[in-house]
Amino acid sequence: MKEILTLAFARAVFVEFLCTLIFVFIGLGSALKWPSALPSILQIALAFGLAIGTLVQAFGHISGAHINPAVTIAFFVGNQISLLRTLLYVVAQLVGAIAGAGILYGVTPANTRGNLAINALNNNITPGQALVVEIILTFQLAACIFASTDNRRSGVGSPALSIGLSVTVGHLVGIYFTGCSMNPARSFGPAVVTRRFSPAHWVFWVGPILGACLASLLYFYILPREGRKAHAWARVCPTARQPPHPAAAAESSSTAFPASPPWDAGRPGALRVCKEPLHEL
């Protein structure tokens, strides 16, 4: 509870709102059907991917730049952030998505707004098929985020670039199926503004959250080396007596990811591992 009283926490929540607003505005704006120039699949995919990459580079050191409720929930499932931070991030992201979609709606001519690029099932896709697509696409995105911001890896490269490319790849495939969500906020914002909630809107919540959480379970609990696995389990079950991994023990004074910026001061792109026992969240 102490973290909510800090200025750093307030800044982080505000940045999640701001980043999601900008992301939704740019992404949806690229998909508008202007009479003089209809958008291409490549254009839309690049707009979403480049927007995420730019925002991660610009604001990742403040909040982690999740910009996605599914990613935030997945970090909580992986015991990387607190429940309080998770809840406030998700609220900020949803409000930001509504604001971004609302601004876009207001500045776009009436004959071009259309449905504001809301997600829908395309080409006779069933809800079950769409759910599987969203799970797979969000799984690869979340796995990329976890891996590219992990300070236990060497040579992770640029997290902003890799995450942006992951979003781009997802859109190159997913647009044909569902318009590509991978992000409940991206689907929720335009649906609220246009008041168009399709019967399959649940797919764009359940699919991304399931995909991201599966990636979290796999990355943080199933695939780690034995030392890391024991340490991860010890955080879920504080009474367990497995010795912590040496690298984790050396960081025992670190704050929860991303209570401080998730990028380590010594090496941009490094993931800070949460040191809060789960029972204290």
Q: Is residue 254 part of a domain?
A: no
> What's the pLDDT band for 1 if we cut at 50, 70, 90?
low
Residue 255: name the closest of 72, 77, 80 by CA: 80
Residues 42-51: what's their mean pLDDT? Answer: 98
- Confidence check: pLDDT of 277 > 50: no
Residue 183: name the closest of 12, 5, 29, 48 by CA: 48
Computed over every residue of the chain, the mean pLDDT equals 84
Residue 198: name the closest of 127, 250, 275 by CA: 127
Q: Is residue 58 part of a domain?
A: yes
For the entire predicted model, the pTM comes to 0.81
Could you tell me the residue range of the domain that residue 87 belongs to? 3-222
Rg of the chain on CA atoms, in Å: 19
In angstroms, the CA 149 to CA 216 distance is 13
Q: Is 21 helix (H, G, I), strand (E, B) or coil?
A: helix
Q: Is residue 12 part of a domain?
A: yes
The number of folded domains in the chain is: 1
Q: Is 34 helix (H, G, I), strand (E, B) or coil?
A: strand
pLDDT in tens, 124-183: 999 999 999 999 999 999 999 999 998 887 777 899 999 999 999 999 999 999 999 999
> What's the pLDDT band for 223 if we cut at 50, 70, 90?
confident
Tokens of 117: 């690029």
Write the CATH number for 55: 1.20.1080.10
- Confidence check: pLDDT of 279 > 70: no
pLDDT of residue 226: 54
Residue 49: name the closest of 148, 134, 172 by CA: 172
pLDDT of residue 228: 53
- Confidence check: pLDDT of 55 > 80: yes
In angstroms, the CA 112 to CA 225 distance is 52
108, 127, 218, 253, 257 from 86: Cα distances, Å: 33, 28, 20, 21, 11
- Confidence check: pLDDT of 280 > 90: no
